[in-house]
Amino acid sequence: MNQGKVAIVSGAGGGIGREIALALARTGAAVVVNDIGVSVTGEGGSATPSEETKRLIEEAGGSAVVDTHSVDSWDSARAIVATALDAFERIDIVVNNAGILRDTIFHKMTAEQWLSVVGVHLNGSFFLSRAAAEHFRRQEAGAFVHMTSTSGLIGNFGQANYAAAKLGICALSKSIALDMKRFNVRSNCIAPFAWSRMTSEIPADTDEQRERIERLRKMTPEKNAPLAVFLASDAAHDISGQVFGTRHNEIFLFDPFRPARSVHRSEGWDLQSIADHAVPALQAHFAALDRSGDVFSWDPL
């Protein structure tokens, strides 16, 4: 399915990224295993996780190379693409999966917690995609797969930085899909559900939280790989600008934002008429303050 292609998978040292890298290799792609080997909150740094992914790929007969540059700067993102070109002489697929968490309630969130998370998730997705885009344009082919999250699509407590970055990735993906369609370049998002290092940081202080974690534990990272591999392949040649979700054995398609209801007043609006007429007409269509766990309230199937 991806025979002869070259893929970059960021954050491929473990969890979902590793499973996607392994799955891409099984379908014939050579893989740049990008990971800086930090903790879930971004501390430390080691080549060991990415070397382990490379070993697993090669033991299965695949081809891989390790890259330990961070995605959070333009120069290092270009270096990641250079690793692919130096090792395999082309680039066909980019999977933007790298991420960190710095969860805290909004009124206590620091500037550093905001900037670090947005820097890896949103800026990193832009930098790596942009670095690959010039090669995709020249060869008139390429596929981007970006990891988003229901924390951004729906909402969650204590994740303003992460949620904003992840919803921003959806807008970035749609813009790439629109701008690069003429070059046969596709861009799609996946909101993955999986128990991983990142979800293991979810608090388990109440019975409700503990029950939710038990449901999450059933969703192992490899369940997300098939859709990512499909979207990266030529089999998805006519699919672009979409946002999917994967949860255990379920696949979801998310609706983009669209106007839900409108009201009109020929003489225009003022504060009182908005309160008296516009709000009562619109209120039934207001978005609820739901979290991801409220919307996906049933056990994984």
For range 52-76, the mean pLDDT? 97
pLDDT digits (tens, 9 = 90+) for 90-136: 999 999 999 999 999 999 999 999 999 999 999 999 999 999 999 99
Structure tokens that stand for 178 in this block: 């629109």
Distances (CA, A) of 105 to 108, 109, 116, 159, 184: 6, 6, 16, 7, 42
Q: What is the DSSP letter of 278?
A: I
pLDDT value for 200: 55
d(Cα 83, Cα 34) in Å, to the nearest integer? 10
List 162, 193, 195, 230, catalytic entry: 162
pLDDT value for 38: 62
pLDDT value for 88: 98
d(Cα 158, Cα 182) in Å, to the nearest integer? 40
Q: What is the DSSP letter of 296?
A: S
Q: 91 near 84, Cβ under 8 Å?
A: yes
Question: For residue 17, what pLDDT band results from cuts at 50, 70 and 90?
Answer: very high
pLDDT digits (tens, 9 = 90+) for 148-187: 999 999 999 999 999 999 999 999 999 999 999 999 999 9
Structure tokens that stand for 59 in this block: 């033991």
d(Cα 85, Cα 82) in Å, to the nearest integer? 5
Active site residue 162: yes
d(Cα 71, Cα 99) in Å, to the nearest integer? 9
Distances (CA, A) of 213 to 54, 99, 161, 210: 30, 20, 22, 5
Main-chain phi, psi angles of 139, to 5 degrees: -90, -5
Question: For residue 205, what pLDDT band results from cuts at 50, 70 and 90?
Answer: confident
pTM: 0.91
pLDDT value for 195: 67
Judged against a pLDDT cut of 90, whether residue 263 lies above it is answered with yes
The sign of the CA dihedral 243, 109, 99, 132 is positive
Q: What is the DSSP letter of 283?
A: G
